Chain A
Amino acid sequence: MPQLDPSTFGSQLFWLAVSFVTLYVVLSVLVLPRIGATMAKRSEQLDGDLAEAEALRAKAEAALEAYEEALAQARTKALVVAQTMRAEVQAETARQKAELDAKLAEEAAAADSRLAATREAALAGLRDAAKDIVGEVMLSIGVDQADDKSVEAALDAASGR
């Protein structure tokens, strides 16, 4: 078994030490730090990107929230404006109606009073005419001069006053 030949041990150990130490130095000084740095940079970048995405998402959500709030505010404002407008219109309508009512009532009252005056005048005219007719009739039947007072009394009695 060549493995048990001690004469080869020295050279194998020497070259093992040389090659392994060389490998260790090359890897630990040149290669591994670079790979480690690249991988660390990558995970850093990924973490950074994820954090940025998270921040952007939060920002978008905040914007959405603000938009919804503004929308709700606008809706409330619109409602208030509509109510105010309705109230104003109603008040105006009521005022105009009241005005019109008053005017109509006034006109009706005026018409009433005119009517009453006319009726009064007509009645007065009628009474005068009746008095004249009575005077004429009495004259024609020979009563020369009837006294006004009795005629008036008679007329009053006739007209039911």
Chain B
Amino acid sequence: MAGKTTNAEGGAGIDPMHQFEVHALFDLPTIAGIDTSFTNSSLWMVIAVSLITVFMTAASRGTSLVPGRMQLMGELAYSFVANMIKENIGTEGMRFFPFIFSLFMFILFCNMLGMLPYSFTVTSHLIVTFALAATVFILVTLVGFARHGIGFLKLFVPSGIPVVLLPLLVVIELISYLTRPVSLSVRLFGNMMAGHTMLKIFGGFVVGLGSAGLIPLAIAPFALMVAFTGLELLIAGLQAYVFTILTCIYLNEAIHMDH
């Protein structure tokens, strides 16, 4: 990847996909066959993690009975995720609280930081969302087998079904289980990429019409862009929530197996 800068800022003026390009900020040596170059993607991951750490550390500094502003925000985030887990999994799900909380905060901050102009949206890359979804998938599968042993396979055998239909249904259940990481990752990646591409295209209209001297015509795409920015902020929060709550639902299924 080092030195790869195929920029498509060509004839069309503005390439909506340009914003998703990953380029190395500085090269680092390849360790055990893994390219560790520090890219714009890495930068925004580090920024997200740093901001979460700063925010949550500031929030956890206050230990007073009546919380201050930062403390209250931290506690709101804490109880938001904690309640999500308690409602979907129950109190035994609190074992996974640090992981689910980290997952929610990481996706939320990456999505939100992606809304900043000239920033990079980490979650608009399928490989990142797929890695997160695969982590969840592996965790769910491990938890399922750890709790129920080989009995976890009963998850794929629906009860009260005629024996004739069973082979077909088992295959369907198995496929739906195995495609979970795909649907989970593509949902987040697709939402992020589509939204940003659309914003970029509308932005291109505004700039194109404006520079062509058709400023009254540029007002319509500009207004749409403002509205879509609001919608994108909503989606950024919502998709973080959806990813997290699906993780909770999958974990609940692995723990309780009430299919």
> Do A11 and B101 have beta carbons less than 8 Å apart?
no
Whether, in the assembled complex, B88 has its beta carbon less than 8 Å from a beta carbon of chain A, the answer is no
Q: Which listed residue (A3, A30, A38) contacts B63, Cβ 8 A? A: A38
B229: Cβ under 8 A from any A Cβ = no
Q: A17, A23, A45: which contacts B105 (Cβ < 8 A)?
A: A23
Is B193 on the interface with A (CB-CB < 8 A)? Answer: yes
* Residues in B neighbouring A17, C-beta threshold 8 A: 131
Interface residues on A, range: 35 or more
Measured in the bound complex, the distance between the Cα atoms of B128 and A13 in whole Å is 7
A26 interfacial by beta-carbon distance below 8 Å: yes
Contacting pair B45 A11 (CB below 8 A): no
Main secondary structure of the interface of B (DSSP, over half): helix
Which residue of B24, B36, B45, B48 has the most chain A CB atoms within 10 A of its CB atom? B45
Q: Is B42 an interface residue (CB 8 A)?
A: yes
**Please, how many angstroms separate the alpha-carbon atoms of A34 and B57 in the complex?**
9
> In the assembled complex, which residues on chain B have CB atoms less than 8 Å from the CB atom of A39?
75, 78-79
Chain B residues near A32: list those with CB within 8 A.
Answer: 56, 60, 78, 97-98, 101
Asked if A8 contacts B41 (CB within 8 A), the reply is yes
A3-B125, A23-B53 known; A8 and B102 CB under 8 Å?
Answer: no
Interface centre among A2, A24, A28, A34 (most CB of B within 10 A): A2
Minimal beta-carbon separation of A13 from chain B (angstroms): 6
Task: Give the interface of A toward B (CB within 8 A).
Answer: 1-5, 7-17, 19-20, 22-24, 26-28, 30-32, 34-39, 41-42, 45
The 6 A-B pairs at the shortest CB distance, nearest first, are namely A28-B98, A15-B42, A10-B35, A19-B45, A8-B22, A34-B60
Residues of chain B having any CB pair with chain A under 8 Å:
1, 4, 17, 20-22, 24, 34-39, 41-42, 45-46, 48-49, 52-53, 56-57, 59-60, 62-63, 65, 67, 71, 74-75, 78-79, 97-99, 101-102, 105-106, 122, 124-128, 131-132, 189, 193
